[in-house]
Amino acid sequence: MGRIIVLLSFIITITSVNAQQKITYLLNKQADLNKVTVQITFDALPASDAYLVIPRSAPGTYSLTNYMAYVDDVVGYTTTAKQLTGMIGDGSFFMFGESNDLLNKVSYTVDIQKMENDLLDAAMSSKARKDYLGLFGYSVFGCIEGMETEAINLTINTDPTWPIFSTLRPDTHRKYGADSYEVENYAELVDAQYLLGTGVQVIRVEEAQIPLFVAAYTETTVALEGIGDTGLSSLQKLADYFGYVPMPHYTLVYEFLKPISERHDYGFNMEHLNSMTAHRDISQEYHPNRDLGTILHHMGHSWMPLRSWGEGYRPFAWQVAPLVETIWLNEGFIWYVSYANILNNEEIVNWWKSNMATAPDFIKTKTLKELSLLGSTQYASDFRIGKNLFSRGALMAYDLDEHIQKQTNGEKSFKDAMLGLLNWSNKNQRAFTYNEIESIMSQTTGVDLSAIWNTWQKAPK
């Protein structure tokens, strides 16, 4: 009887593991370096119910990007080895016909070179070079609709001489030619970065509270240690401010590139759960100490909104750019913490006010929520929108901070409001609604913040 129980326990354990790992992703770098193939294997379902979704946006990008334009050779495979050609659907997805044949695998190619040529914002694109393949997850990995929450086993195959690095499991000791990763869900898969090739440099920054890495591809000479020192300083300052570090590890991903055209923009950076990506034009002199504010800001996003967020930010709607009402909070609150609180930049408040004062009427006449909804797809494409969103949010934080400190005789501050939001999100594990934000901050600080909140909800003009 004991043997039967042990055997049943073993079977249940194996079944449980299999249930948690229903989806397998295989990424192959093609020999011409400029394309990758992706193969997804999953529990079989009727072909008529299978949709391969290609992301149109990603958390924090606040934009629409047509990644479908770089996807070709979409094929579905049935359990009987029949091949079904993928057909473009009405949205950002491919479908495989109306048959009841059981489909359990799809494959497609992504043209990385075409993507980089077409997308003028370097922050939105993967890159391909002779000795480098830099993949941003959301630009290459699609998903089977309805399976976004399933666990994933990812395998990457590349040239046997090429080392592989991923922010999923950062390490200076990289595997060559092939590597595999266990990923909790699709959102974690596409939030990560994957850097392949002999041109990739990786260092670990010592003395950090958590494993801290710099991973970079550079077409010029750059000392990664300088970036690491700035990253370490940023991490220490943020840890001192918040009182804890939520990330299990963190990677600063940098690309130093020769511009492929005068219209390509290398100025924007991007935050991720446990990493940030930065892109630099090598025709401009680089000083890592000047990146302190940039790294502080983007690393600070690992606290908010990546671990405390409003509706629309998460769970993410990959086929559209979600309408996010709280971009001013996501960006502005971290701008205030980074530049006003931590760096004590005395000029920054006047700059935020200037951004508001010089805005065109179509921005000035928008309420805070209306402007955030507009910024959901146009935050950076018309950066007057983006600058006004973070400026309004930062100035609201400034007013809140002054009021909280005055009412508590300096015993509490805006930091307590931030920690209140973070603790609330950690406890409830969901997005806070718009109407919950003020009450969470007021309850945490013990100060009625409704008057300031209501004032900032109105249009400036």
CATH of residue 225: 1.10.390.10
Which residue's entry shows tokens 């630009």? 139
Per-residue tokens: 258: 């020769």
* Cα angle, residue 326 at apex, residues 141 and 93 outer, rounded to 5°: 25
For residues 176 and 218, state if they share a domain: no
Structurally, the chain folds into a number of domains equal to: 3
243 and 145 in a common domain = no
Instruction: Please indicate, yes or no, whether residues 175 and 291 belong to a single structural domain of this protein.
Output: no
> What phi, psi does 235 have (nearest 5°)?
-60, -45
Distance between CA 204 and CA 77 in Å, rounded? 42
Say how far apart CA 252 and CA 271 lie, in whole Å: 10
**Same-domain status, 38 and 149:** yes
Give yes or no: residues 81 and 213 share one domain.
Answer: no
- Mean of pLDDT over the chain: 94
Contact 375, 327 (CB under 8 A): yes
Task: Please state the length of the chain.
Answer: 461
Q: What is the pLDDT of residue 19?
A: 43
Q: Output the domain CATH number for residue 149.
A: 2.60.40.3650
Q: Are residues 98 and 152 in the same domain?
A: yes
Q: Are residues 39 and 175 in the same domain?
A: yes
Q: Is 316 part of a structural domain of the chain? A: no
Statement to judge: residues 346 and 448 lie in one domain? yes
Give 111's strand partners. Answer: 35
Could you tell me the residue range of the domain that residue 101 belongs to? 23-119+137-159+169-189
Beta bridge partners of 356: none
Cross-strand bridge partners of residue 226: none
Distance CA 330, CA 326 (A): 6
Q: State whether 259 and 366 are in the same domain.
A: no
Residue 8 lies in a domain: no
Predicted confidence (pLDDT) at residue 364 exceeds the cutoff of 80: yes
Element (H, E) at 392: helix 383-407
Tens digits of residue pLDDT in 53-111:
999 999 999 999 999 999 999 999 999 999 999 999 999 999 999 999 999 999 999 99
Task: Give yes or no for residue 8 having a pLDDT over 70.
Answer: no
Residue range 145-167: average pLDDT? 97
Does residue 143 sit within a domain? Answer: yes
Same domain, 185 and 205: no
Task: Give per-residue burial for 62-88: e unless 16+ CB within 10 Å, then b.
Answer: bbebebbebbeebbbbbeeeeebebee
Shared-domain flag, residues 88 and 55: yes
Per the domain annotation, does 305 fall within a domain?
A: no
Average pLDDT of the residues in 214-241: 97
The mean pLDDT value for 231-258 works out to 98
Angle subtended at Cα 30 by Cα 26 and Cα 34, rounded to the nearest 5 degrees:
120
Tokens read off for 314:
């998460």
Q: What is the pTM of this model?
A: 0.93
Give yes or no: residues 48 and 93 share one domain. Answer: yes
